Structure 1
Amino acid sequence: MNPNRTRRLTLAAAAAVVLSFTGAACSDDGGGGSGDGDKKITVGIKFDQPGIGLKTPDGKYTGFDVAVATYVAKQLGYKPSDIVWKEAKSADRETLLQRGDVDFIAASYSINDKRLQKVDFAGPYLLAHQDVLIRANDNSITKPSDLNNKKLCSVTGSTSAQNVKTKLAPQAQLQEYGGYSECLTGLENGVIDALTTDDSILAGYAAQPEFKGKFKLGGFKMSNENYGIGVQKGSELKAKINAALQKMVADGSWQKAVDENFGPAGYKNEPAPKIGVVVQ
């Protein structure tokens, strides 16, 4: 065979190999951030918390965490259509990150030492507080100790209710239901006097159209909950997400998301937290 022809064939084969690798890289749907339609980013959120993270019956996703995650994804190079939303239940969040099932999680995810042993956090992007939700016309509960001898509701296994019971109002009559919606029904019907969890979650429920004007927040600030965006340990995404969060605050998008999702409940939000500063 002609040596020159052999060389041309070898070069052609090598070019084909390079092209095949290039093609494989372009079709990768991992979190690279090109936003060119070929790539996707998987984000964990709550599916059942109105105002925070909610999957609606028509398959849409709404809430403050959804707004934050969408903004962050855009800064990473992804269009809204590139986002794959995945439910991140409280008990599953660390596992989802450790297994690589999601790229990041924005799901009312409070930063604490126990979680920091397993995952990293960007943020915080919201400072929430444990609070109570009461009926709008109830003026008998103006401070935490007023919960003594009142029927206090939270979800089964909640640390929020135990915190009230052990530290603030030992005589509170604790009622534990399967979900917040059941507590809200009880509160609306007068079977329950107060519902306790993070004020952001309470505001999200109270802001729903069907509850407009029925409930109010106590404003008690019984704990500090620093919401962060969870990423894998050592992930380079942490720094990129922090930059995106800073931009979101600076251009007004953060406050707009707060007002749209919590405003109808009269939620008096804290100013946007400083990145890397966890309030104890």
Structure 2
Amino acid sequence: MKLRRTSAVAIATVAALGLAACGSDGGDGAAAGGNKVKVGIKFDQPGLGLKTGATYSGFDVDVANFIAAELKLEVEFVEAVSAQRETLLKTGQVKYIVGTYSITDKRKADVSFAGPYFIAGQDLLVRADDTSITGKDTLNGKNLCSVKGSTSAQKIKDEVPGVNLQEYNTYSLCVDALKSGAVDALTTDDTILAGYAAQDANKGQLKVVGNTFSTENYGVGVKKDDTEFCNQVVTALKKFIDSGKWEESVKKWLGPANYTPGAGNPPTPTCQSA
């Protein structure tokens, strides 16, 4: 399996947010020549964080761009693979991460979070003709795919010991394995699964089971104990929510999959650290 290179291949300046360059409309723009920072996002999550050529699109991209615009930052997007997120922040390789990053006590020991800005739930993606998998209690003996370093993988390990868990580096590899029959299901947040199910290449082939079994609080990851910056991000997130841009972005990117945000949305973000 070929690993994806964690590197930026294009610079998306907030001045150009417009937001055609990034394929997003999540911010009001900021003056060029501001502070340049690297920001971690996902490159392979349709509807959330997707890189297509030099274009970035999705709800998380809108969030990342809005924060940058509010703080007058010039951003360069970097791929933040799940298993590498804490390292990217601890070593200063990125200023912040917006990439379906669930807030957990374990992670708060290493990084701080501004959030939650969205509340999701763990679910299952299966082939459209599969009627044998209806929830996590039907996974015994099944081949299940998830991503290394994700909370979804850890929950399955803890709660369904009879499942054959296969951990890949990206969700797109899991989707490929599911379509080919190499695995029986993919587990992660329902937002991510809905994005894949709605892709043109997957329509009619995959379906979300629709039986969530966790609560995932998405936060913006920042360097641990950088309280000043964390509070600045919280202020930006509150404005994103209160201005109506949160709702607009959710409808734009997740609405086509008939996805409706669950209870508690939109949430009230705070700065969180262990």
TM band (smaller chain)? 0.7 to 0.9
CA distance in 2 between partners of 1:156 and 1:41 (Å): 26
Q: Does 1:52 align with 2:43?
A: no
CA displacement at 1:45 relative to structure 2: 1.3
Which has the larger helix fraction? 1
CA distance in 1 between partners of 2:130 and 2:165 (Å): 19
In 1, are the aligned partners of 2:121 and 2:215 still within 8 Å (CA)?
yes
**More off after superposition, 115-124 vs 62-71:** 115-124
CA distance in 1 between partners of 2:110 and 2:164 (Å): 36
CA displacement at 1:276 relative to structure 2: 3.0
CA distance in 1 between partners of 2:133 and 2:258 (Å): 17
Q: State the partner residue of 2:14.
A: none
CA displacement at 1:156 relative to structure 2: 5.3
The letter for the 2-side match of 1:216 is K
Q: State the partner residue of 1:276.
A: 270
Secondary structure of 1:209's counterpart equals coil
Which one of the candidate residues 171, 177, 182 is aligned to 1:180? Answer: 171
The letter for the 2-side match of 1:184 is V
TM-score when scaled to structure 2?
Answer: 0.76
Q: State the partner residue of 2:10.
A: none
CA distance in 2 between partners of 1:196 and 1:165 (Å): 12
Q: State the partner residue of 1:112.
A: 104
CA displacement at 1:162 relative to structure 2: 5.3
CA distance in 1 between partners of 2:182 and 2:39 (Å): 38
CA distance in 2 between partners of 1:204 and 1:155 (Å): 16
Q: Does 1:67 align with 2:62?
A: yes
In 2, are the aligned partners of 1:216 and 1:265 still within 8 Å (CA)?
no
Q: Does 1:90 align with 2:82?
A: yes
Secondary structure of 1:54's counterpart equals strand
CA displacement at 1:47 relative to structure 2: 2.2
In 2, are the aligned partners of 1:50 and 1:63 still within 8 Å (CA)?
yes
Unaligned stretches of 5+ in structure 2? Answer: 1-28
Going from structure 1 to structure 2, the CA distance change for 1:267 and 1:41 (only over 3 Å counts) comes to: same
Secondary structure of 2:270's counterpart equals coil
Secondary structure of 2:99's counterpart equals coil
CA distance in 1 between partners of 2:214 and 2:178 (Å): 22
TM-score when scaled to structure 1?
Answer: 0.74
CA distance in 2 between partners of 1:119 and 1:158 (Å): 15
CA displacement at 1:124 relative to structure 2: 0.7
Q: State the partner residue of 1:229.
A: 220
Secondary structure of 1:211's counterpart equals coil
Q: State the partner residue of 1:16.
A: none
Going from structure 1 to structure 2, the CA distance change for 1:148 and 1:119 (only over 3 Å counts) comes to: closer
RMSD: 2.7
Going from structure 1 to structure 2, the CA distance change for 1:205 and 1:41 (only over 3 Å counts) comes to: same
Which has the larger strand fraction? 2
The letter for the 2-side match of 1:45 is I
Unaligned stretches of 5+ in structure 1? Answer: 1-33
Larger C-alpha radius of gyration, 1 or 2? 1
Q: Does 1:102 align with 2:98?
A: no
CA distance in 2 between partners of 1:118 and 1:166 (Å): 22
Which one of the candidate residues 23, 30, 36 is aligned to 2:31? Answer: 36
Going from structure 1 to structure 2, the CA distance change for 1:173 and 1:245 (only over 3 Å counts) comes to: same
Identity of aligned residues (%): 50
CA displacement at 1:65 relative to structure 2: 1.1
In 1, are the aligned partners of 2:101 and 2:220 still within 8 Å (CA)?
yes
CA distance in 2 between partners of 1:68 and 1:166 (Å): 32
CA displacement at 1:125 relative to structure 2: 0.7
Secondary structure of 1:236's counterpart equals helix
Going from structure 1 to structure 2, the CA distance change for 1:121 and 1:179 (only over 3 Å counts) comes to: closer
Secondary structure of 1:274's counterpart equals coil
